[in-house]
Structure 1
Protein backbone atom coordinates (compact mmCIF):
# COMPACT_ATOMS: atom_id res chain seq x y z
CA UNK A 1 0.00 0.00 0.00
CA UNK A 2 1.52 3.37 -0.99
CA UNK A 3 1.61 6.45 1.22
CA UNK A 4 -1.33 8.12 -0.56
CA UNK A 5 -3.52 5.08 0.05
CA UNK A 6 -2.43 4.97 3.67
CA UNK A 7 -3.42 8.61 4.11
CA UNK A 8 -6.69 8.01 2.33
CA UNK A 9 -7.49 5.03 4.54
CA UNK A 10 -6.82 6.96 7.75
CA UNK A 11 -8.85 9.94 6.58
CA UNK A 12 -11.72 7.68 5.61
CA UNK A 13 -11.80 6.29 9.15
CA UNK A 14 -12.02 9.83 10.48
CA UNK A 15 -14.86 10.57 8.06
CA UNK A 16 -16.79 7.55 9.31
CA UNK A 17 -16.35 8.65 12.91
CA UNK A 18 -17.41 12.23 12.25
CA UNK A 19 -20.21 11.60 9.80
CA UNK A 20 -22.65 10.27 12.42
CA UNK A 21 -23.79 13.73 13.45
CA UNK A 22 -26.90 12.38 15.10
CA UNK A 23 -24.73 10.27 17.41
CA UNK A 24 -21.73 12.48 18.00
CA UNK A 25 -22.73 15.92 19.20
CA UNK A 26 -21.01 18.53 21.38
CA UNK A 27 -22.70 19.30 24.67
CA UNK A 28 -22.75 23.00 23.89
CA UNK A 29 -24.81 22.31 20.78
CA UNK A 30 -27.28 19.75 22.07
CA UNK A 31 -27.51 19.11 25.78
CA UNK A 32 -30.07 16.36 25.32
CA UNK A 33 -27.99 14.35 22.85
CA UNK A 34 -25.02 12.19 23.90
CA UNK A 35 -21.77 13.79 22.80
CA UNK A 36 -19.96 10.53 22.21
CA UNK A 37 -20.37 7.30 20.34
CA UNK A 38 -20.30 4.46 22.87
CA UNK A 39 -19.72 0.77 22.25
CA UNK A 40 -19.75 -1.85 25.01
CA UNK A 41 -19.05 -5.54 25.32
CA UNK A 42 -21.72 -5.84 28.00
CA UNK A 43 -24.73 -3.84 29.07
CA UNK A 44 -23.05 -3.23 32.41
CA UNK A 45 -24.45 -2.56 35.85
CA UNK A 46 -26.35 0.51 36.94
CA UNK A 47 -23.16 1.78 38.55
CA UNK A 48 -21.20 1.16 35.32
CA UNK A 49 -23.68 3.17 33.28
CA UNK A 50 -23.73 5.98 35.84
CA UNK A 51 -19.94 6.08 35.96
CA UNK A 52 -19.72 6.14 32.18
CA UNK A 53 -22.21 8.99 31.89
CA UNK A 54 -20.36 11.01 34.53
CA UNK A 55 -17.02 10.45 32.85
CA UNK A 56 -18.31 11.40 29.43
CA UNK A 57 -19.99 14.44 30.90
CA UNK A 58 -16.66 15.58 32.30
CA UNK A 59 -14.93 15.07 28.95
CA UNK A 60 -17.70 16.56 26.83
CA UNK A 61 -17.48 19.99 28.41
CA UNK A 62 -14.16 20.38 26.60
CA UNK A 63 -15.79 19.98 23.20
CA UNK A 64 -16.22 23.09 21.05
CA UNK A 65 -19.21 23.12 18.71
CA UNK A 66 -17.30 24.96 15.98
CA UNK A 67 -14.42 22.48 16.18
CA UNK A 68 -16.65 19.47 15.54
CA UNK A 69 -18.43 21.29 12.71
CA UNK A 70 -15.04 22.14 11.18
CA UNK A 71 -14.25 18.44 10.89
CA UNK A 72 -17.65 17.47 9.47
CA UNK A 73 -17.48 20.42 7.09
CA UNK A 74 -14.08 19.31 5.82
CA UNK A 75 -15.38 15.79 5.39
CA UNK A 76 -18.41 17.00 3.44
CA UNK A 77 -16.20 19.19 1.24
CA UNK A 78 -14.11 16.14 0.39
CA UNK A 79 -17.25 14.20 -0.50
CA UNK A 80 -18.39 17.08 -2.70
CA UNK A 81 -15.07 17.05 -4.56
CA UNK A 82 -15.40 13.33 -5.14
CA UNK A 83 -18.75 14.10 -6.78
CA UNK A 84 -17.09 16.76 -8.94
CA UNK A 85 -18.96 19.55 -7.17
CA UNK A 86 -16.22 22.11 -6.63
CA UNK A 87 -18.65 24.95 -5.98
CA UNK A 88 -20.22 23.15 -3.02
CA UNK A 89 -16.81 22.11 -1.71
CA UNK A 90 -15.64 25.73 -1.89
CA UNK A 91 -18.71 26.95 0.03
CA UNK A 92 -18.25 24.30 2.70
CA UNK A 93 -14.58 25.12 3.21
CA UNK A 94 -15.46 28.80 3.49
CA UNK A 95 -17.80 27.89 6.36
CA UNK A 96 -15.07 25.75 7.92
CA UNK A 97 -12.62 28.66 7.81
CA UNK A 98 -15.21 30.85 9.49
CA UNK A 99 -15.76 28.38 12.31
CA UNK A 100 -12.04 27.90 12.79
CA UNK A 101 -11.71 31.67 12.98
CA UNK A 102 -14.18 31.67 15.87
CA UNK A 103 -12.18 28.99 17.68
CA UNK A 104 -8.89 30.82 17.12
CA UNK A 105 -10.39 34.04 18.44
CA UNK A 106 -11.60 32.28 21.60
CA UNK A 107 -8.38 30.35 22.19
CA UNK A 108 -5.49 32.23 20.53
CA UNK A 109 -2.80 30.37 22.50
CA UNK A 110 -4.28 26.87 22.26
CA UNK A 111 -2.43 24.32 20.12
CA UNK A 112 -5.10 21.58 20.12
CA UNK A 113 -8.87 22.01 20.37
CA UNK A 114 -10.98 18.93 21.27
CA UNK A 115 -13.64 18.27 18.63
CA UNK A 116 -15.01 14.81 19.40
CA UNK A 117 -15.07 12.28 22.24
CA UNK A 118 -15.75 8.55 21.97
CA UNK A 119 -16.07 5.94 24.71
CA UNK A 120 -15.25 2.27 24.18
CA UNK A 121 -16.20 0.12 27.19
CA UNK A 122 -14.82 -3.35 27.85
CA UNK A 123 -16.23 -4.75 31.08
CA UNK A 124 -15.26 -8.28 32.05
CA UNK A 125 -18.01 -10.10 33.96
CA UNK A 126 -18.48 -13.82 34.58
CA UNK A 127 -22.06 -13.75 35.84
CA UNK A 128 -25.22 -11.67 35.94
CA UNK A 129 -24.03 -10.29 39.27
CA UNK A 130 -20.74 -8.99 37.89
CA UNK A 131 -17.23 -10.04 38.80
CA UNK A 132 -15.66 -10.40 42.21
CA UNK A 133 -12.06 -10.64 43.38
CA UNK A 134 -12.23 -14.42 43.91
CA UNK A 135 -13.28 -15.01 40.31
CA UNK A 136 -10.46 -12.87 38.99
CA UNK A 137 -7.91 -14.45 41.31
CA UNK A 138 -9.05 -17.90 40.20
CA UNK A 139 -8.42 -16.98 36.56
CA UNK A 140 -5.04 -15.49 37.48
CA UNK A 141 -4.11 -18.72 39.24
CA UNK A 142 -5.20 -20.76 36.21
CA UNK A 143 -3.15 -18.52 33.92
CA UNK A 144 -0.15 -18.91 36.22
CA UNK A 145 -0.49 -22.69 36.09
CA UNK A 146 -0.62 -22.56 32.29
CA UNK A 147 2.52 -20.45 32.19
CA UNK A 148 4.27 -22.94 34.48
CA UNK A 149 3.44 -25.56 31.83
CA UNK A 150 4.78 -23.22 29.10
CA UNK A 151 1.29 -22.96 27.58
CA UNK A 152 1.86 -19.30 26.88
CA UNK A 153 -0.84 -18.78 24.28
CA UNK A 154 -3.52 -20.44 26.42
CA UNK A 155 -2.50 -18.25 29.35
CA UNK A 156 -2.51 -15.22 27.10
CA UNK A 157 -6.10 -15.85 26.05
CA UNK A 158 -7.17 -16.20 29.67
CA UNK A 159 -5.39 -13.04 30.77
CA UNK A 160 -6.87 -11.11 27.84
CA UNK A 161 -10.29 -11.46 29.48
CA UNK A 162 -9.20 -9.62 32.61
CA UNK A 163 -10.10 -6.14 31.46
CA UNK A 164 -12.60 -3.74 32.99
CA UNK A 165 -12.05 -0.28 31.61
CA UNK A 166 -13.37 2.56 29.55
CA UNK A 167 -11.21 4.00 26.78
CA UNK A 168 -11.88 7.66 26.14
CA UNK A 169 -10.60 8.78 22.74
CA UNK A 170 -10.48 12.50 22.00
CA UNK A 171 -10.06 13.78 18.45
CA UNK A 172 -8.52 17.25 18.38
CA UNK A 173 -7.78 19.85 15.71
CA UNK A 174 -4.20 21.20 15.56
CA UNK A 175 -4.86 24.93 15.40
CA UNK A 176 -1.34 25.72 14.22
CA UNK A 177 -1.69 23.87 10.91
CA UNK A 178 -5.32 22.94 10.23
CA UNK A 179 -6.75 26.42 9.36
CA UNK A 180 -3.93 27.24 6.93
CA UNK A 181 -4.27 23.83 5.26
CA UNK A 182 -8.00 24.46 4.72
CA UNK A 183 -7.18 27.76 3.00
CA UNK A 184 -4.58 26.04 0.81
CA UNK A 185 -7.15 23.42 -0.24
CA UNK A 186 -9.65 26.18 -1.04
CA UNK A 187 -7.05 27.90 -3.22
CA UNK A 188 -6.53 24.68 -5.19
CA UNK A 189 -10.26 24.37 -5.81
CA UNK A 190 -10.38 28.01 -6.92
CA UNK A 191 -7.67 27.23 -9.48
CA UNK A 192 -9.64 24.24 -10.76
CA UNK A 193 -7.16 21.71 -9.40
CA UNK A 194 -9.75 19.37 -7.93
CA UNK A 195 -7.58 16.25 -7.76
CA UNK A 196 -4.87 18.16 -5.90
CA UNK A 197 -7.49 19.71 -3.62
CA UNK A 198 -8.92 16.27 -2.84
CA UNK A 199 -5.47 14.98 -1.92
CA UNK A 200 -4.92 18.08 0.20
CA UNK A 201 -8.14 17.47 2.13
CA UNK A 202 -7.09 13.90 2.86
CA UNK A 203 -3.88 15.38 4.27
CA UNK A 204 -5.92 17.85 6.32
CA UNK A 205 -8.00 15.07 7.89
CA UNK A 206 -4.83 13.15 8.63
CA UNK A 207 -3.64 16.12 10.70
CA UNK A 208 -6.28 15.40 13.34
CA UNK A 209 -4.76 14.24 16.61
CA UNK A 210 -6.32 11.29 18.47
CA UNK A 211 -5.42 10.58 22.09
CA UNK A 212 -6.81 7.74 24.20
CA UNK A 213 -6.99 7.54 27.99
CA UNK A 214 -7.75 4.31 29.83
CA UNK A 215 -9.73 4.49 33.07
CA UNK A 216 -10.55 1.41 35.22
CA UNK A 217 -14.30 0.83 35.41
CA UNK A 218 -14.28 -0.62 38.95
CA UNK A 219 -12.78 2.65 40.16
CA UNK A 220 -15.51 4.64 38.44
CA UNK A 221 -18.18 2.36 39.89
CA UNK A 222 -16.65 2.79 43.32
CA UNK A 223 -16.81 6.56 42.92
CA UNK A 224 -20.51 6.38 42.00
CA UNK A 225 -21.22 4.20 45.05
CA UNK A 226 -19.37 6.55 47.40
CA UNK A 227 -21.20 9.54 45.95
CA UNK A 228 -24.52 7.81 46.58
CA UNK A 229 -23.43 6.93 50.13
CA UNK A 230 -22.39 10.50 50.93
CA UNK A 231 -25.83 11.78 49.93
CA UNK A 232 -27.69 9.31 52.17
CA UNK A 233 -26.54 10.96 55.37
CA UNK A 234 -28.79 13.93 54.60
CA UNK A 235 -31.89 12.00 53.52
CA UNK A 236 -34.77 13.24 55.65
CA UNK A 237 -37.01 10.25 54.90
CA UNK A 238 -34.53 7.81 56.50
CA UNK A 239 -33.81 7.28 60.17
CA UNK A 240 -30.20 7.64 61.30
CA UNK A 241 -29.93 3.87 61.73
CA UNK A 242 -31.41 3.18 58.31
CA UNK A 243 -29.13 5.68 56.60
CA UNK A 244 -26.12 4.35 58.51
CA UNK A 245 -26.88 0.79 57.43
CA UNK A 246 -27.30 1.90 53.81
CA UNK A 247 -24.08 3.94 53.91
CA UNK A 248 -22.09 1.02 55.33
CA UNK A 249 -23.49 -1.28 52.64
CA UNK A 250 -22.59 1.14 49.83
CA UNK A 251 -19.12 1.86 51.17
CA UNK A 252 -18.38 -1.85 51.43
CA UNK A 253 -19.50 -2.31 47.83
CA UNK A 254 -17.25 0.60 46.88
CA UNK A 255 -14.28 -1.06 48.62
CA UNK A 256 -15.09 -4.32 46.82
CA UNK A 257 -14.86 -2.49 43.50
CA UNK A 258 -11.52 -0.96 44.50
CA UNK A 259 -10.21 -4.40 45.47
CA UNK A 260 -11.37 -5.71 42.09
CA UNK A 261 -9.50 -2.93 40.29
CA UNK A 262 -6.40 -3.70 42.33
CA UNK A 263 -6.63 -7.44 41.57
CA UNK A 264 -7.03 -6.69 37.86
CA UNK A 265 -3.72 -4.85 38.04
CA UNK A 266 -4.91 -1.27 37.86
CA UNK A 267 -2.36 0.19 40.24
CA UNK A 268 -0.61 -1.40 43.20
CA UNK A 269 -1.70 -2.09 46.77
CA UNK A 270 0.15 1.01 47.95
CA UNK A 271 -1.90 3.19 45.58
CA UNK A 272 -5.12 2.22 47.38
CA UNK A 273 -3.99 2.33 51.01
CA UNK A 274 -4.86 5.96 51.74
CA UNK A 275 -8.33 5.62 50.25
CA UNK A 276 -9.13 2.43 52.17
CA UNK A 277 -8.08 4.25 55.35
CA UNK A 278 -10.16 7.32 54.53
CA UNK A 279 -13.26 5.17 53.91
CA UNK A 280 -12.78 3.25 57.16
CA UNK A 281 -12.26 6.49 59.12
CA UNK A 282 -15.44 7.93 57.65
CA UNK A 283 -17.48 4.95 58.85
CA UNK A 284 -16.65 5.82 62.47
CA UNK A 285 -18.05 9.37 62.29
CA UNK A 286 -21.35 8.97 60.41
CA UNK A 287 -23.95 11.45 61.73
CA UNK A 288 -21.39 13.32 63.80
CA UNK A 289 -19.78 16.75 63.57
CA UNK A 290 -16.71 15.14 62.03
CA UNK A 291 -18.70 13.57 59.19
CA UNK A 292 -18.35 16.40 56.65
CA UNK A 293 -14.57 16.57 57.06
CA UNK A 294 -14.33 12.77 56.75
CA UNK A 295 -16.29 12.76 53.50
CA UNK A 296 -14.11 15.57 52.15
CA UNK A 297 -11.08 13.43 52.93
CA UNK A 298 -12.61 10.48 51.07
CA UNK A 299 -13.37 12.64 48.03
CA UNK A 300 -9.94 14.28 47.86
CA UNK A 301 -8.16 10.96 48.33
CA UNK A 302 -10.32 9.37 45.67
CA UNK A 303 -9.57 12.24 43.28
CA UNK A 304 -5.83 11.67 43.73
CA UNK A 305 -6.18 7.93 43.17
CA UNK A 306 -8.29 8.29 40.03
CA UNK A 307 -5.83 10.72 38.47
CA UNK A 308 -3.01 8.31 39.26
CA UNK A 309 -4.82 5.39 37.59
CA UNK A 310 -5.76 7.21 34.38
CA UNK A 311 -3.11 6.40 31.81
CA UNK A 312 -2.61 6.82 28.05
CA UNK A 313 -3.19 3.87 25.72
CA UNK A 314 -0.03 2.41 24.23
Structure 2
Protein backbone atom coordinates (compact mmCIF):
# COMPACT_ATOMS: atom_id res chain seq x y z
CA UNK A 1 0.00 0.00 0.00
CA UNK A 2 2.84 2.45 0.81
CA UNK A 3 4.50 1.93 -2.58
CA UNK A 4 1.22 2.38 -4.43
CA UNK A 5 0.49 5.57 -2.49
CA UNK A 6 3.94 7.02 -3.27
CA UNK A 7 3.55 6.26 -6.97
CA UNK A 8 0.15 7.91 -6.96
CA UNK A 9 1.54 11.05 -5.36
CA UNK A 10 4.36 11.16 -7.95
CA UNK A 11 1.85 10.90 -10.79
CA UNK A 12 -0.18 13.75 -9.34
CA UNK A 13 2.92 15.93 -8.97
CA UNK A 14 4.02 15.27 -12.56
CA UNK A 15 0.53 16.00 -13.86
CA UNK A 16 0.38 19.28 -11.98
CA UNK A 17 3.84 20.24 -13.24
CA UNK A 18 2.84 19.53 -16.86
CA UNK A 19 -0.24 21.74 -16.49
CA UNK A 20 1.89 24.60 -15.11
CA UNK A 21 4.47 24.30 -17.89
CA UNK A 22 1.79 24.12 -20.56
CA UNK A 23 0.16 27.23 -19.17
CA UNK A 24 3.47 29.10 -19.13
CA UNK A 25 4.20 28.06 -22.73
CA UNK A 26 0.76 29.17 -23.88
CA UNK A 27 1.14 32.49 -22.10
CA UNK A 28 4.59 32.96 -23.63
CA UNK A 29 3.28 32.16 -27.13
CA UNK A 30 0.33 34.49 -26.69
CA UNK A 31 2.54 37.33 -25.48
CA UNK A 32 4.98 36.83 -28.35
CA UNK A 33 2.21 36.76 -30.94
CA UNK A 34 0.56 39.84 -29.47
CA UNK A 35 3.84 41.74 -29.31
CA UNK A 36 4.67 40.86 -32.91
CA UNK A 37 1.26 41.99 -34.16
CA UNK A 38 1.18 45.21 -32.18
CA UNK A 39 4.73 46.20 -33.10
CA UNK A 40 4.24 45.45 -36.81
CA UNK A 41 1.05 47.40 -37.43
CA UNK A 42 0.51 50.46 -35.28
CA UNK A 43 -0.73 53.33 -37.44
CA UNK A 44 -4.07 54.10 -39.05
CA UNK A 45 -2.30 54.40 -42.39
CA UNK A 46 -0.78 50.92 -42.11
CA UNK A 47 -4.16 49.39 -41.26
CA UNK A 48 -5.81 51.21 -44.18
CA UNK A 49 -3.22 49.98 -46.68
CA UNK A 50 -3.19 46.40 -45.39
CA UNK A 51 -7.00 46.27 -45.65
CA UNK A 52 -6.56 46.49 -49.44
CA UNK A 53 -4.35 43.37 -49.57
CA UNK A 54 -1.09 44.73 -51.00
CA UNK A 55 1.27 42.18 -52.50
CA UNK A 56 4.07 44.00 -50.66
CA UNK A 57 4.21 46.88 -48.18
CA UNK A 58 7.76 48.10 -47.64
CA UNK A 59 8.90 50.12 -44.65
CA UNK A 60 12.61 50.85 -44.62
CA UNK A 61 14.21 47.47 -45.27
CA UNK A 62 11.32 45.09 -44.56
CA UNK A 63 7.99 43.97 -45.96
CA UNK A 64 5.38 44.26 -43.21
CA UNK A 65 3.00 41.91 -45.04
CA UNK A 66 5.40 39.14 -44.04
CA UNK A 67 5.41 37.71 -47.55
CA UNK A 68 8.82 38.87 -48.74
CA UNK A 69 12.44 39.02 -47.70
CA UNK A 70 14.26 42.01 -46.30
CA UNK A 71 15.93 44.62 -48.46
CA UNK A 72 19.62 45.50 -48.60
CA UNK A 73 20.88 49.06 -48.19
CA UNK A 74 23.68 50.16 -50.51
CA UNK A 75 25.60 53.13 -49.18
CA UNK A 76 24.61 55.28 -46.25
CA UNK A 77 21.10 56.39 -45.35
CA UNK A 78 19.28 58.17 -42.55
CA UNK A 79 16.16 57.10 -40.72
CA UNK A 80 13.34 59.63 -40.81
CA UNK A 81 9.57 59.55 -40.36
CA UNK A 82 6.41 60.26 -42.29
CA UNK A 83 3.94 62.83 -40.90
CA UNK A 84 2.14 60.11 -38.91
CA UNK A 85 5.36 58.68 -37.47
CA UNK A 86 5.75 55.69 -39.83
CA UNK A 87 9.45 54.96 -40.48
CA UNK A 88 11.05 56.09 -43.74
CA UNK A 89 14.55 56.40 -45.17
CA UNK A 90 16.38 59.48 -46.44
CA UNK A 91 19.07 59.32 -49.11
CA UNK A 92 21.67 61.94 -49.99
CA UNK A 93 22.27 60.77 -53.58
CA UNK A 94 25.86 59.62 -54.15
CA UNK A 95 25.05 55.96 -54.84
CA UNK A 96 22.70 55.44 -51.90
CA UNK A 97 19.66 53.20 -52.38
CA UNK A 98 17.67 50.26 -51.03
CA UNK A 99 17.41 47.01 -53.00
CA UNK A 100 14.84 44.20 -52.82
CA UNK A 101 15.27 40.97 -54.77
CA UNK A 102 13.02 40.40 -57.78
CA UNK A 103 9.63 38.85 -57.02
CA UNK A 104 6.19 38.78 -58.67
CA UNK A 105 4.86 41.51 -56.36
CA UNK A 106 7.05 44.07 -58.17
CA UNK A 107 6.22 43.03 -61.76
CA UNK A 108 3.56 44.31 -64.14
CA UNK A 109 3.39 41.05 -66.05
CA UNK A 110 2.45 38.65 -63.25
CA UNK A 111 -1.18 39.82 -63.67
CA UNK A 112 -0.89 42.56 -66.26
CA UNK A 113 -1.69 45.25 -63.70
CA UNK A 114 0.52 46.94 -61.13
CA UNK A 115 -0.26 49.75 -58.69
CA UNK A 116 2.74 51.34 -56.97
CA UNK A 117 2.03 53.62 -54.02
CA UNK A 118 4.68 55.64 -52.19
CA UNK A 119 5.45 58.82 -50.26
CA UNK A 120 8.41 61.04 -51.12
CA UNK A 121 9.96 64.11 -49.54
CA UNK A 122 12.39 65.92 -51.85
CA UNK A 123 15.29 67.49 -49.96
CA UNK A 124 16.53 69.50 -52.94
CA UNK A 125 14.97 70.99 -56.06
CA UNK A 126 18.13 70.58 -58.16
CA UNK A 127 19.58 67.08 -58.05
CA UNK A 128 23.33 66.57 -58.11
CA UNK A 129 23.29 62.96 -59.37
CA UNK A 130 20.88 63.32 -62.30
CA UNK A 131 20.76 61.71 -65.74
CA UNK A 132 19.30 62.33 -69.19
CA UNK A 133 17.81 65.79 -69.63
CA UNK A 134 18.02 66.48 -65.90
CA UNK A 135 16.05 63.99 -63.80
CA UNK A 136 16.48 61.24 -61.24
CA UNK A 137 14.67 57.98 -60.72
CA UNK A 138 12.96 57.69 -57.35
CA UNK A 139 12.42 53.96 -57.54
CA UNK A 140 11.83 51.30 -60.15
CA UNK A 141 12.57 47.89 -61.56
CA UNK A 142 14.89 47.38 -64.48
CA UNK A 143 18.37 47.38 -65.96
CA UNK A 144 19.69 47.87 -69.51
CA UNK A 145 18.02 45.23 -71.67
CA UNK A 146 15.30 44.46 -69.12
CA UNK A 147 13.59 47.74 -68.29
CA UNK A 148 10.13 47.47 -66.70
CA UNK A 149 8.85 50.59 -64.88
CA UNK A 150 10.16 53.64 -62.97
CA UNK A 151 9.08 56.64 -60.93
CA UNK A 152 10.92 59.83 -61.92
CA UNK A 153 11.44 63.40 -60.70
CA UNK A 154 12.98 66.23 -62.71
CA UNK A 155 15.30 68.89 -61.36
CA UNK A 156 13.90 72.41 -61.28
CA UNK A 157 16.23 73.38 -64.16
CA UNK A 158 16.39 70.76 -66.90
CA UNK A 159 16.76 70.59 -70.66
CA UNK A 160 13.06 69.86 -71.28
CA UNK A 161 11.54 72.76 -69.30
CA UNK A 162 9.84 70.38 -66.88
CA UNK A 163 10.56 71.99 -63.50
CA UNK A 164 10.26 69.38 -60.74
CA UNK A 165 7.85 67.26 -62.75
CA UNK A 166 6.94 63.95 -61.10
CA UNK A 167 6.12 61.08 -63.43
CA UNK A 168 5.83 57.32 -63.73
CA UNK A 169 6.64 55.22 -66.80
CA UNK A 170 6.24 51.74 -68.24
CA UNK A 171 8.96 50.69 -70.68
CA UNK A 172 9.66 48.00 -73.20
CA UNK A 173 12.55 45.78 -72.17
CA UNK A 174 14.86 47.49 -74.64
CA UNK A 175 14.24 50.92 -73.11
CA UNK A 176 13.86 53.96 -75.34
CA UNK A 177 10.82 56.15 -74.77
CA UNK A 178 8.35 54.98 -72.16
CA UNK A 179 4.61 55.53 -71.81
CA UNK A 180 3.90 57.52 -68.71
CA UNK A 181 1.78 59.96 -66.74
CA UNK A 182 2.84 63.01 -64.75
CA UNK A 183 1.98 66.07 -62.69
CA UNK A 184 3.98 69.27 -62.50
CA UNK A 185 3.42 71.57 -59.53
CA UNK A 186 5.52 73.79 -57.31
CA UNK A 187 7.44 71.58 -54.88
CA UNK A 188 8.05 72.65 -51.29
CA UNK A 189 11.22 71.30 -49.70
CA UNK A 190 10.52 69.08 -46.74
CA UNK A 191 6.86 68.49 -47.65
CA UNK A 192 5.73 64.91 -48.21
CA UNK A 193 3.95 63.98 -51.46
CA UNK A 194 1.71 60.92 -51.88
CA UNK A 195 2.16 59.32 -55.31
CA UNK A 196 0.23 56.42 -56.84
CA UNK A 197 1.29 55.02 -60.22
CA UNK A 198 -0.97 52.58 -62.09
CA UNK A 199 0.18 50.47 -65.04
CA UNK A 200 -2.72 48.50 -66.53
CA UNK A 201 -2.19 46.40 -69.67
CA UNK A 202 -5.40 44.38 -69.16
CA UNK A 203 -8.24 46.93 -69.27
CA UNK A 204 -8.32 47.91 -72.94
CA UNK A 205 -10.68 50.12 -74.91
CA UNK A 206 -10.86 52.05 -78.16
CA UNK A 207 -9.10 54.96 -76.47
CA UNK A 208 -6.58 52.72 -74.70
CA UNK A 209 -6.11 49.72 -77.03
CA UNK A 210 -3.06 48.40 -75.16
CA UNK A 211 -3.96 49.65 -71.71
CA UNK A 212 -2.83 52.77 -69.86
CA UNK A 213 -0.87 54.44 -67.10
CA UNK A 214 -2.32 56.72 -64.41
CA UNK A 215 -0.80 58.90 -61.74
CA UNK A 216 -2.33 60.37 -58.58
CA UNK A 217 -1.00 63.12 -56.35
CA UNK A 218 -2.20 63.38 -52.74
CA UNK A 219 -5.33 61.40 -53.56
CA UNK A 220 -6.26 63.18 -56.82
CA UNK A 221 -6.03 61.62 -60.28
CA UNK A 222 -3.81 63.94 -62.30
CA UNK A 223 -3.09 62.17 -65.58
CA UNK A 224 -3.92 59.10 -67.68
CA UNK A 225 -2.07 58.02 -70.83
CA UNK A 226 -2.15 55.22 -73.38
CA UNK A 227 0.47 52.46 -73.52
CA UNK A 228 -0.15 52.43 -77.28
CA UNK A 229 1.37 55.90 -77.62
CA UNK A 230 4.79 54.23 -77.48
CA UNK A 231 3.74 50.64 -78.27
CA UNK A 232 4.61 49.48 -74.74
CA UNK A 233 4.37 45.73 -74.13
CA UNK A 234 5.51 45.06 -70.56
CA UNK A 235 7.90 42.16 -70.06
CA UNK A 236 9.47 40.81 -66.89
CA UNK A 237 13.16 40.59 -66.12
CA UNK A 238 15.05 39.53 -63.03
CA UNK A 239 16.23 43.00 -62.02
CA UNK A 240 15.68 43.90 -58.37
CA UNK A 241 13.41 46.63 -57.12
CA UNK A 242 15.49 49.66 -56.21
CA UNK A 243 14.32 52.56 -54.02
CA UNK A 244 16.33 55.77 -54.30
CA UNK A 245 17.43 55.02 -57.87
CA UNK A 246 16.33 53.21 -61.02
CA UNK A 247 19.22 51.40 -62.70
CA UNK A 248 21.94 53.31 -60.79
CA UNK A 249 22.56 56.11 -63.30
CA UNK A 250 20.91 58.74 -61.09
CA UNK A 251 20.15 58.99 -57.39
CA UNK A 252 17.36 60.69 -55.44
CA UNK A 253 18.12 63.20 -52.70
CA UNK A 254 15.28 62.98 -50.24
CA UNK A 255 13.14 60.56 -48.27
CA UNK A 256 10.95 57.66 -49.38
CA UNK A 257 8.47 55.80 -47.20
CA UNK A 258 5.55 53.36 -47.06
CA UNK A 259 6.01 51.83 -50.53
CA UNK A 260 3.15 49.47 -51.38
CA UNK A 261 2.43 47.24 -54.40
CA UNK A 262 -0.91 45.85 -55.55
CA UNK A 263 -1.57 43.29 -58.27
CA UNK A 264 -4.74 45.11 -59.28
CA UNK A 265 -5.71 48.72 -59.95
CA UNK A 266 -6.38 50.52 -56.70
CA UNK A 267 -9.63 52.46 -57.12
CA UNK A 268 -9.74 56.25 -57.02
CA UNK A 269 -11.86 56.05 -53.86
CA UNK A 270 -9.29 53.90 -52.08
CA UNK A 271 -6.41 56.10 -53.26
CA UNK A 272 -8.18 59.06 -51.66
CA UNK A 273 -8.81 57.06 -48.48
CA UNK A 274 -5.13 56.14 -48.25
CA UNK A 275 -3.99 59.74 -48.73
CA UNK A 276 -6.40 60.94 -46.05
CA UNK A 277 -5.31 58.21 -43.61
CA UNK A 278 -1.83 59.73 -43.27
The answer to whether the superposition gives a TM-score over 0.5 is: no
Q: Which category of TM-score, normalised to the shorter sequence, fits these structures?
A: under 0.3
Could you tell me the TM-score, scaled by structure 2's length?
0.25
Q: Write 1 or 2 for the structure with the bigger share of strand.
A: 2
Could you tell me the TM-score, scaled by structure 1's length?
0.22
Q: Write 1 or 2 for the structure with the bigger share of helix.
A: 1
